[in-house]
Structure 1
Amino acid sequence: MSPGQAVFITGVGKFLPGEPVANQDMAAYIGSISKRSSTLGSAILRKNGIKHRFYALDTEGGYRYTNASMAAHAIHDALKQARCQPEQVDLLATSTTQGDYLVPGFASAVHGELGIPPLAIFSFQSVCASSLMAVKNAWLNVKVGESQLAVASGSEFASRWFRPSVYRPFYDEAARPDPQIEFLRWTLSDGAGALVLEPGPKPDGVSLRVDWIQFKSFADRFPPCMYAGAKSNTGADDQGWGLYESPQAAYEAGAIALKQDFEILYAMFPVWVGYYLELLEKYDLDPNAIDYFLPHYSSHSLGEEMKRLLRRTGAMIVEERWCNNLERYGNTGTASIFIMLEELVQKHPLQPGQRILCFVPESGRCIAAFMHLTVV
């Protein structure tokens, strides 16, 4: 363990907007672009294994929560679990794929929603791995004594990207369905999660000691894979939306829509697994010593690909120790690892000394992030 005091997760919270939305009810919230795209959506649902998800949108196209308000709800839940008061928080680190505003930073919006006294804030914006960027920031600040009560959150309001009006200028009834768009429309979900970190465990109940958090970006090897703000991720059409003559011109060119490139995504898997093997060696970590493995993935089929590669390397963690709730919550992006941890703490009989490994791969431009915890 690196120098500094030990740091403990004393509270884990989540917030999911509304009631779970079943597959057959999705169109009532995000609409239908065309009959052909809905047919492709049904095939995607069969592959991704998701049965329910949550939307901050209502069936009239309005919104019930903002991204920042969902984060604030999750933070209040985490503070309740930690038995701490909101005014005690002295550091806030937030993560999201896209905040409610272009400017200012997302942490400012969440701080405003919380309405708590002045404190240090940090905004992390990426895709899924920004969750552990926020946690690592909070962890290190507590570790060196800069913070006594830090909160890290992850939240997503993905459904606002998926209304048919978002695609109308370039993608209509006559258009051939675009798998880069459709996969995300039928996979992503809304929600938020949060952690409370302190320099000591709770007097009673479960706390989790943060042993290490490690990251690596491989953006030197890949173009963007999951992206928004450009018409394409390669070639002449990869200019950013702000370089068009106007935001309207970028929108009409299809440079605003959220997309995912599957060929690049599958090429990332061996890289992520290679980094996992590197960390096993660095920390002399035996996969058989891991009691709970919390891997983030966006589809059941991608989870199966992850298992296939781990078996080939001989570094597979016993499948019965995998904890993933994609089927029940959908892919909640930066919130997913927080929501998995909350469910683990609430529903599993954790015992002191048990070891938890969290894995958050990010397809944005290839990031891998790991966090190792010990139950105390």
Structure 2
Amino acid sequence: MNSPSGPSTGRVAVVCGVGGYVPPGIVTNEDLTARLDTSDEWIRTRTGIAARHVIDPGTATSDLAVEAGRRALKSAGDSQADAVVLATTTPDQPCPATAPHVAAQLGLTGAAAFDVSAVCSGFLYGLAAASGLIASGTAERVLLIAADAFTTIIDPDERTTAVIFADGAGAVVLRAGTADEPGAVGRIVLGSDGEHHDLIEVPAGGSRQRSSGIPPEPGEEFFRMRGRDTYRMAVERMTAVSQQAVESAGWHMEDVDRLAAHQANARILTAVGDRLGIPDERRLSNIERVGNTGAASIPLLLAQAAEEGRLTAGHRVLLTAFGGGLAWGSTALVWPDVAA
């Protein structure tokens, strides 16, 4: 689906602030090898991860989201927003949505607030929703947060997922502006394929399992992923949707200064970058030190790269993601002059 960046008036969403947050707890590969049948070499070779941040007991997704949101608002130089959009797979509870609580914690009581669920593609789906609020005139300023406490749905004894997933949050502030400004969000290309919903899932806990009257099997409350099939689909879809986004922006692939892809694992990132023909030095990555943070991975990557000087004003940035659903998305924009 090609989502136009704005109506004929030219009113579009413009990035004016960015922030990221990871909890202080760190789990290294050495920590995992002490209790799992794995090794540092095995983890690094297959995922590219050396360490990941994890929440402390009692910490929730909203806590991560509030901190990232606060940092993004500070970056934007204004603590106000008309709407809060939260992309997450791990809400604080099934009902109500987590976004209103996050908004209240940030002093934004009264602002429109809702959750978006698109797993690892959540930030781009949330970006489409937030851009639509601005393009329609519903909001002048939107705080978009992506946050996941992914370790709360991971089986700690399942080697294939426990070594990959981590906790974190990232956020951007969007304001109404024009398409010719740096930071203007371009067309957002989105897609899904529900025929393969079982590649990435948490089988138990939803209405289908609960209405069956059959207790879940042990382990069905945890996240599951069929790695080999997911790898193939992720590479194919992220490559194709990235090409569409670059074409929609009127660019050629060699025009892309920075690729900011969902930090799924190092093998997927390498395969997508190679297929797109984007050199290593133009690929942003933080997976080695933060792992796969779900919906948070792209905005967290943008915040860290901007803070470290790897992403600067004027860079032409390609964003792309793939996640459960299956769902995927991509967009392109010129990075603005913002301080993370």
**Where on the TM-score scale, by shorter chain, does this alignment land: which range?**
0.7 to 0.9
Q: What amino acid maps onto 1:227 in structure 2?
A: E
Q: What amino acid maps onto 2:66 in structure 1?
A: A
Tell me, in whole angstroms, the C-alpha distance in 2 between the residues paired with 1:262 and 1:47.
11
Tell me, in whole angstroms, the C-alpha distance in 2 between the residues paired with 1:209 and 1:295.
19
Tell me if structure 2 keeps the 8 A contact 1:296–1:360. Answer: yes
Instruction: Show the counterpart of 2:191.
Output: 216
Tell me, in whole angstroms, the C-alpha distance in 1 between the residues paired with 2:210 and 2:96.
17
Higher relative strand content: 2
Change (3 A) 1:40 1:136: same
Deviation at 1:53, TM superposition (A): 1.1
Q: Map residues 21-60 of structure 1 onto 2, 5 A cutoff.
A: 21-26=27-32, 32=35, 37-39=36-38, 43-57=42-56
For 2:329, which of 344, 348, 369 is the aligned residue? 369
Tell me, in whole angstroms, the C-alpha distance in 1 between the residues paired with 2:313 and 2:92.
40
For 1:261, which of 226, 233, 237 is the aligned residue? 226
Tell me, in whole angstroms, the C-alpha distance in 1 between the residues paired with 2:170 and 2:211.
34
Tell me, in whole angstroms, the C-alpha distance in 2 between the residues paired with 1:351 and 1:108.
32
Instruction: Show the counterpart of 2:167.
Output: 190
For 2:115, which of 113, 123, 140 is the aligned residue? 123
Change (3 A) 1:318 1:199: same
Instruction: Show the counterpart of 2:283.
Output: 322
Deviation at 1:209, TM superposition (A): 2.2
Instruction: Show the counterpart of 1:174.
Output: none
Tell me, in whole angstroms, the C-alpha distance in 2 between the residues paired with 1:11 and 1:155.
16
Tell me, in whole angstroms, the C-alpha distance in 1 between the residues paired with 2:29 and 2:228.
26
Instruction: Show the counterpart of 2:201.
Output: 227
Q: What amino acid maps onto 1:47 in structure 2?
A: R
Deviations 1:174-222 (A, max 9, x none): xxxxxxx422111111111111111259xxxx962222222111224x2
Tell me if structure 1 keeps the 8 A contact 2:12–2:184. Answer: yes
Tell me, in whole angstroms, the C-alpha distance in 2 between the residues paired with 1:104 and 1:147.
22
Change (3 A) 1:27 1:118: farther
Q: Map residues 198-347 of structure 1 onto 2, 5 A cutoff.
A: 198-200=175-177, 208-220=183-195, 222-230=196-204, 240-245=208-213, 249-250=215-216, 252-268=217-233, 269-308=235-274, 310=275, 315-347=276-308
Q: Map residues 84-99 of structure 1 onto 2, 5 A cutoff.
A: 84-85=78-79, 88-99=80-91
Deviations 1:257-291 (A, max 9, x none): 11101232133122432333344444442011111
Tell me, in whole angstroms, the C-alpha distance in 2 between the residues paired with 1:106 and 1:159.
18
Deviation at 1:41, TM superposition (A): 8.1
Tell me if structure 2 keeps the 8 A contact 1:96–1:155. Answer: yes
Tell me if structure 2 keeps the 8 A contact 1:212–1:373. Answer: no
Deviations 1:218-266 (A, max 9, x none): 224x2421110249xxxxxx994323426xx21x443211110123213
Question: Structure 1: which 5+ runs fail to align?
Answer: 168-180, 232-237
Tell me, in whole angstroms, the C-alpha distance in 2 between the residues paired with 1:352 and 1:266.
33
RMSD: 2.7
Deviations 1:93-142 (A, max 9, x none): 00111211011112133224334321111211121111111122112212
1:66 matched to 2:60? The reply is: yes
Instruction: Show the counterpart of 2:12.
Output: 6
Look up the SS of the partner of 1:133 in the other structure.
helix
Q: What amino acid maps onto 1:365 in structure 2?
A: G
Alignment: residue pair count: 327
Tell me, in whole angstroms, the C-alpha distance in 2 between the residues paired with 1:194 and 1:278.
25
Instruction: Show the counterpart of 1:235.
Output: none
Change (3 A) 1:272 1:162: closer
Q: What amino acid maps onto 2:333 in structure 1?
A: L
Change (3 A) 1:258 1:348: same
Instruction: Show the counterpart of 2:106.
Output: 114
Look up the SS of the partner of 2:86 in the other structure.
strand
Q: What amino acid maps onto 2:243 in structure 1?
A: L
Q: What amino acid maps onto 1:83 in structure 2?
A: G
Look up the SS of the partner of 2:198 in the other structure.
coil
Q: TM-score, normalised by structure 2?
A: 0.86
Tell me if structure 2 keeps the 8 A contact 1:6–1:200. Answer: yes
Tell me if structure 1 keeps the 8 A contact 2:13–2:135. Answer: yes
Tell me if structure 2 keeps the 8 A contact 1:241–1:255. Answer: no
Q: TM-score, normalised by structure 1?
A: 0.79
Identity fraction in percent? 24
Deviations 1:42-62 (A, max 9, x none): 6234321111211103xxxx2
Change (3 A) 1:239 1:45: farther
